[in-house]
Amino acid sequence: MIERLTARRAWLGVAVVIVAALPWLLDTSYWRGILVLCAMNVLLALSLNLVIGYTGQLNLGQSAFFGIGAYVSTILIKGYGWNFWLAAVAAVGAAGLLGLALAAFAVRLRGHYLAIASLGFAVITYQVLVNWENVTQGVRGIYGIMPPFSHPAALFYLVAGIAVLVYVLIDNLVRSPVGDTLRAIREDEVSAASLGINRALWKAFAFGVGAAIAGLAGCFYPGFVGTLVPDAFAIVESFTMMAMVIVGGMGTMIGPVVGAIVLTFLPELLRGFGELRLMIYGLALTLVVLFMPGGIVQAWTKLKARIS
């Protein structure tokens, strides 16, 4: 037990050193921007993994909470003159509460029924962002949004530092009795209920926390891009987040992080192939799903076991 704890702390220390070094290894504005995007994607993948990977709830509406965090924080800052940090707290709270609202309906559903319900929530949220023009400006968008830090390296350190903190908090959560409860629901809801586990309560907990983390990621997106339009939170974004979780290895902590990094950098590394890059990208994802159904992390674990 002590050895495992020491190893985890050592790996966390290595991760912090790597994060600190990255903006100086990739020192152009373009690649530093990609690093910020990668850190946001890590947050999104971690948020969805808590719902899908640990609780077994097929949620296809995560892009909605990402958008809610972005719009609530931006509207409070631009429209009402709020400080970024206060607006971020309000946005995280709003996303978390709407996650609980979705959970109130979703807790009665499972499998593809839950997937359809959550997808419907994402569609409704997107349509609200498009059509509620008095508040969101619709497809015209909101412009001139400033980030909390103007320097890309400083913004990366902020988002990446929050991602590391969220990782540590969720890691401790899933290693606690709460994590055992969530996994019990994932494996067999009926058996979990027979043990006295309140399925509705814990599903709502997972949805709420996952939505709040996605909303947190959304707070940084408008300032990073400088503009805010509804298309950034279309349904396809939910599938991209799910791909990150599946490719990396859902139900593990490091898996979504690996998936987010791979699926953020891979399209950029393939830009030299022009129009072929989307085909190569799609083929790579298909091969991972076919030959590594447990994700990259599980494949690496199996390979390491064979070698040793």
Mean pLDDT over the full length of the chain: 87
Picking from 238, 189, 169, the residue whose alpha carbon sits closest to that of residue 56 is: 189
Name residue 117's amino acid. A
Q: What is the pLDDT of residues 131-165, one digit of tens each?
A: 998 999 989 999 989 888 878 889 999 999 999 99
Q: What is the mean pLDDT of residues 220-230?
A: 93
pLDDT of residue 1: 58
Rounded to an integer, what distance in angstroms lies between the CA atom of residue 282 and that of residue 297?
20
pLDDT of residue 4: 66
Whether domain 2-307 has CATH 1.10.3470: the reply is yes
Instruction: Say whether pTM exceeds 0.85.
Output: yes
Tokens coding 198: 């309140």
Using the CB atoms, write b or e for 189-226: b if 16+ within 10 Å: eeebeeeebebeebbbbbbbbbbbbbbbbbbbbbbbbe
Q: Within 10 A of 183 (CB to CB), how many other CB atoms are there?
A: 16
The rounded percent of the chain whose pLDDT value lies above 70 is 95
